[in-house]
Structure 1
Amino acid sequence: DGADPALSPDGERLYFLSFQSIESDPTERERIWFAERSGAGWGRPRMIDACIAAHATHWTFSVAANGNLYFTSETADRQDIFVSRFEEGRYLDPIDLGPSINGPGKNFCPFVWADERFLVFARSGEGTRRADLFVSFRTEEGGWGPARLLGEPINSDGHDLAPVVSNDGEYLFFLSMRDGRSRPYWVEASVLEDERPSGN
């Protein structure tokens, strides 16, 4: 019952969501699992470290080249984006990305570039019930700059979400609900750099 797969940039780990229960917690809810590539294919799936599994993860997530994992944590009335840093072979306690990323409403579907220089994600509830795509760039100080709303023709009058940039950095893919139907769309990823603040 795996869903929403995410491949690490080096292609050696496949992450996915699953509702399967575990001995320590028989509750069926979304948790992140992963399998590592081996000479014969893929190894046996394992659940992600408990510090992440304790969160109510929701929908898509993303993995940087250094293993840092960006995901959405869901509570009763919010969805916010967190990062869990990967150090010495294990994941550390997740950190809320803060108000630059997690604005009013729901913040979800994060995609981080391999070197973590930018983050694309969806947000809903900021003056509208629909989901729109935003981008934030890493600052010289190492934090995240203010999220910038992507304009037309990327964002539409329907839901726009689930962004992914191709491995070569050339194209931005996303889902858009236009004319009442959800379909995949793409644009040149250079539209993201157009939103980079001067001097950043």
Structure 2
Amino acid sequence: MGGFKYNAIFHTKQVDGEWTNPEVLEFCRNTSYKYLEPHLSPDGSKLYFVSNMPTGSNKEDNFDIWVSEKKNGMWTKPYNIGAPINTESKEFFPSVTTNGTIYYTHLDTVAKDEFIYRSRCINGVYQQPEKLGPNVNISKARFNALIAPDESFTIVPAFGMPDSFGGTDYYIVFRDSSDKWSKPINMGPKVNSDNPKEWSASLSPDGKYLFFMSARMGNYSIDVLSRESINRFHNSPQNGNTDIYWISTSVIEELRKKAVFD
């Protein structure tokens, strides 16, 4: 909201087949800080997100990964996930597997570029993060990697790939049992388009659907320009702003057949 001056995380419920009005989560209501990129753990017990909330010593503009736990149906006060994941630099877009491994984007202040890292969770302790290889950290820019709960694939938005439909596209990279990653595969026209804002994806809890962000333009005709008609256009999908789309994950299984490992 307000040109990235304030970001909040909303929640909504489906009741009798209808979505309730979205509400801001209670811990996201301090407009001095930003709250973004939420991710639910596969079992739904933890909410990971990114914020520039202070932790005492960190700078206000230092984005870290935070966690809130669900207890008695309520989200608890969030805590900073801490080292070795969070650093003096910036961390973004957490994505967590069933066994607790966390994938995220880290800003490398030396290279002045963002790369995708992961940290294994062993006996409840996060291990030293590792930067993933070139089949995942692809192209001129890559970020916001979604990891499958079973760690069998990751979906990476990447900018500047030679087979891109529109600047930034979603690429899928499959992982085998020996921890090797396939060559990246453009997810094709069922997911990608010619718009440049395809920046984040997520999976439904049952794994049946892929949700993804895209900014597409529909065929609109506004006969009379008025405040009301412009407001309707602004609040409608496919008006050039980002929307959430969804598709069956059968598209992933189709692409799995094309996976090539080095």
Question: What's the TM-score once normalised by structure 1's chain length?
Answer: 0.90
SS at match of 1:50: coil
Q: Which residue of 2 aligns with 1:97?
A: 132
1:45-80, Cα deviation, whole Å (9 max, x unpaired): 11012111114213x321111111111112364221
Please show how residues 74-113 of structure 1 align to structure 2 within 5 Å.
74-75=107-108, 77-113=112-148
Cα 1:57–1:153 change in 2 (3 A) is same
Q: Which residue of 2 aligns with 1:157?
A: 194
1:121-179, Cα deviation, whole Å (9 max, x unpaired): 20012246721001111123222211111111311111222111211121111111223
List runs of 5+ in structure 1 lacking aligned partners.
none
In the alignment, residue 122 of structure 2 is paired with which amino acid?
A: E
| Distance in 2 between residues matched to 1:197 and 1:44, nearest whole Å | 43
In the alignment, residue 98 of structure 1 is paired with which amino acid?
A: G
> Is 2:43 the counterpart of 1:10?
yes
> Is 2:251 the counterpart of 1:191?
yes
Q: Is contact 2:39-2:94 (8 Å) kept?
A: yes
Q: Is contact 1:49-1:90 (8 Å) kept?
A: no
Q: For 2:96, which of 63, 77, 99 is the aligned residue?
A: 63
| Distance in 2 between residues matched to 1:151 and 1:111, nearest whole Å | 17
Moved more, 121-130 or 48-57: 121-130
- How many residue pairs get aligned? The number is 199
List runs of 5+ in structure 2 lacking aligned partners.
1-33, 218-239
> Is 2:63 the counterpart of 1:30?
yes
Cα 1:2–1:85 change in 2 (3 A) is same
Structure showing greater radius of gyration is 2
**Greater relative contact order, per chain length (Cα 8 Å cut-off, separation 6+):** 1
| Distance in 1 between residues matched to 2:259 and 2:52, nearest whole Å | 44
Q: Is contact 1:79-1:105 (8 Å) kept?
A: no
SS at match of 1:142: coil
The root-mean-square deviation of aligned C-alpha atoms, in Å, is 2.0
Q: For 2:178, which of 141, 144, 169 is the aligned residue?
A: 141
Cα 1:30–1:140 change in 2 (3 A) is same
Which protein is richer in strand relative to its size?
A: 1
Cα 1:19–1:98 change in 2 (3 A) is same
